[in-house]
Structure 1
């Protein structure tokens, strides 16, 4: 099925790219722009992005059902997520402080 008529990308190509990204890191956040970047394409009209999101969700769910995770992998993901949130929070605080400086 043709998903993106601007770039002539099929659902199978998108699914294969998503699986390849998940093989690299099964807990990464995958968004349409990341999929297109991995395929060396770019969104032109971006009308296909809602369909790509549906494919991402469906493919990711199927991937995780076929590849059961261990407790260690889940814990590693949660610690990475917590670290990411702390770093983003620190960056927000630093940004606010810098913007309130007089000089």
Structure 2
């Protein structure tokens, strides 16, 4: 099934890319931009992104069900996400402060 008509990307290509990303690091946060970047494509109209998100969720759930991921792995993953969020939040605050200085 064709998911992205702008780039002519099929559902199979997206799923294969997601599985490839999960094989590299099964607990990384995968978003549509990361999938497109891995395929060396870019979102043009981005109308397909909601469908890509659904494919990411479905494929990731299937991947972890096959691997029999444990609750401890999920907790470690969530702490990594929280740490990433805090790092990005600090960077946003620092950018705002330097951008709003009075000349």
TM-score by length of 1: 0.79
- Residue 36 of structure 1 and its aligned partner are, at CA, apart by 0.7
Question: Which is higher, the Rg of structure 1 or of structure 2?
Answer: 1
In terms of mean alpha carbon deviation, does 93-102 or 22-31 score higher? 93-102
| Residue 68 of structure 2 is aligned to residue 68 of structure 1 | yes
Report the equivalent of 2:4: 4
Give unpaired runs (5+ residues) of structure 2: none
Q: Flag structure 1 segments of 5+ consecutive residues without an equivalent.
A: none
2:24 alignment partner in structure 1: 24
Counterparts in 2 of 1:100 and 1:34: CA distance versus 1, 3 Å: closer
TM-score, normalisation: structure 2? 0.79
Count of residue correspondences = 103
Take 1:16 and 1:58, find their aligned partners in 2: how far apart are those partners?
13
